Amino acid sequence: MEKTISDNEVLNAFNTLLPYLPYFFDDDVSFGVADTQAYLSVACNPNLDLKLKEGDVIPQGGALNTAMQNDKVLVKNVPKEVYGIPFRSYAIPIHNKQGVVEGCIVMGKSLIKRNELMSISQNLYASLGHISDAVNDLSSGVQNVVNMNDDIVLKVQEADKSSKDTDDILSFIQAISSKTNMLGLNAAIEAARAGDAGRGFKVVATEIRKLSTSTSESVKKVDDVLKNIGASIKSINEKISKSTGLFEGQAATLQEIAASLEELNSTAEMMGNLAEKI
């Protein structure tokens, strides 16, 4: 049978339960029962040694004394520097049948797991923030590339249109060349009819026909060059379009990643908020 430590039934009952209370907690906990003057019973967890023993005087200004003096439950976090381990202290005033404070029940609960969880959540939140910023920067860069590709496609299309517009010019020059050749041929015929009197005219006719032939050959060369340019422009356009499609797919994927990171950020923040309440 448990010994009686006080005339107060609640204090005695709590003392009886001391050996069983730690099973209700996942963290390391220590308990104490006190009257208004000293500790009546103490059960300290080895991992949370509050350096208390039965008979220790209640210090003035301490948590127990303050709770009993003010007749209010007092909950406070005690930093690691005080006892070598961070913990949360609960001091609960106990009354007699007349409502007068006769003692106090105190519990200390280790905050190591809680602090570790908070640290993990904070580090996770910070890391996710850096990753999210990097993904957003990458997504922005990819989008810029897509926009630049769109501009390049427009310029390529303009160049292709300009290249095709030269076809009319070349056709016009080719027509002039044909007419010039015909004119030279007719001049040569007339010069032959004129005999010696048409020798000078024959020279002019020959030069006209040479000019026509040279112009026709030049037009053909220019046409071949323009066709090659057109083929190159088409190839460039196709490759840029393909590249744009790939970048757009990457941009969409990055947006999905950014959304997932945002959800993880929210989860990490929630985890941190829950850790503070533990």
pLDDT in tens, 161-220: 766 667 666 676 666 767 676 766 676 676 677 666 666 666 666 777 676 677 777 767
Question: Is 246 or 87 the better-scoring residue by pLDDT?
Answer: 87
What pTM does this model have? 0.53
How far is 86 from 112, CA to CA, in rounded Å? Answer: 6
pLDDT surpasses 60 at 5? yes
How far is 84 from 49, CA to CA, in rounded Å? Answer: 9
β strands within the chain, DSSP E: 29-35, 39-43, 74-78, 87-95, 101-110
CB 91 within 8 A of CB 64: yes
pLDDT at 209: 67
Write 83-89 long-range contacts (CB < 8 A, 24+). 83/48, 83/49, 83/50, 83/51, 85/47, 85/48, 85/110, 85/112, 86/110, 86/111, 86/112, 86/115, 87/30, 87/48, 87/50, 87/111, 89/63
How far is 254 from 139, CA to CA, in rounded Å? Answer: 6
**Burial class of residue 66 in the structure, from the number of CB atoms within 10 Å of its CB (0-12 exposed, 13-18 middle, 19+ buried):** middle
CB 49 within 8 A of CB 30: yes
pLDDT at 217: 72
DSSP 45: B
* Tokens 């996770």, residue located: 124
Instruction: State both tokens at 246.
Output: 């790939």
pLDDT (tens digit per residue) in 224-275: 766 777 677 677 767 777 777 776 777 777 677 777 767 777 776 776 666 5
How far is 42 from 139, CA to CA, in rounded Å? Answer: 61
How far is 2 from 265, CA to CA, in rounded Å? Answer: 52
pLDDT (tens digit per residue) in 15-55: 999 989 988 887 799 999 999 999 999 998 888 888 888 99
How far is 265 from 121, CA to CA, in rounded Å? Answer: 9
pLDDT at 181: 66
CB 115 within 8 A of CB 86: yes
DSSP 22: G
**Range 173-208 burial, b when 16+ CB lie within 10 A, else e:** beeebeebbeebeebbeebeeeeeebeeebeebeeb
Question: Is 225 or 133 the better-scoring residue by pLDDT?
Answer: 133
Is 162 strand, coil or helix?
helix
